[in-house]
Chains A and B, each alone.
Chain A
């Protein structure tokens, strides 16, 4: 059984690849490269997969998942400027592809401590706006 929970955070960013000249950044990213940046209400969906415990009727303890996601993701990214406050984005552009990968890595790092006996982290889906979403599944 797969259980999915949604979380929200707000952050600003500017799409800019440090390796490229400004003219290329403007051409590639368009208004997303506006020098002063802009922001989004990100929506993060985290899915875990495992058997239903026959005593509790649960796949996982939701409070533990909430603590994990708050610590690994929300406290780091909520109300931050991704370019200026997240070291991984000092050079690399904070696209939602790169942000989803970073979130996935951070969740994987903490997952085993919080859920040593399972369930597995199966998938994340990051919505940058209601019109754009980015998904990573296990074994990718």
Chain B
């Protein structure tokens, strides 16, 4: 069975590689390369896969999941400028893809256990663009 919890945070980012010219950055990242940055209301859906515990009837304690997502995602990212305030985005371009991967890295160790695992991290950058990460390496 899959269970999904959603959290939201608001944060600024800019997608640029310092070694590229303005034109090259615009060609790769479009408006997202605008040098002073811009922001989004990011929506994150975290999906766990597992079997419900025969006694509690739960795949994972949602109260615990809520606390994990608050501690690992919302608290460190909400109302931040990702490039300047949230490593590794001082070096890694904070695209939605890299953000999903970072959230996977932060959340996976706290939700994996016997009979359950992190299945997917979906990050909506806007209503019309989202990414699905199914593992840190993918």
Pairwise interchain contact B130-A4, C-beta atoms closer than 8 A: yes
Q: Which B residues lie at the A interface, using CB under 8 A? A: 15, 17, 27-30, 92-98, 100-101, 127-134, 138
Answer yes or no: A38 CB below 8 A from chain B CBs.
no
CB neighbours of B17 from chain A (8 A): 55-56
Known: A1-B133, A1-B138, A63-B30. A57 touches B128 (CB 8 A): no
Is the contact region of chain B dominated by helix, strand, or loop, or is it mixed? Answer: mixed
Q: B129–A52 contact, CB under 8 A?
A: no
Known contacts A1-B138, A51-B138, A58 near B132 by CB under 8 Å: no
What are 22 residue pairs bridging A and B, where the CB atoms are less than 8 Å apart in the complex? A1-B132, A2-B134, A3-B96, A3-B97, A3-B131, A3-B132, A4-B130, A4-B132, A5-B128, A6-B128, A6-B129, A52-B101, A56-B28, A56-B93, A56-B95, A57-B15, A57-B97, A59-B131, A61-B28, A62-B30, A62-B129, A63-B27
Residues from chain A with Cβ under 8 Å of B98 in the complex:
52, 57
Cβ–Cβ < 8 Å partners of B130 in chain A: 3-4
Chain B residues with CB below 8 A from A61, complex form: 27-28
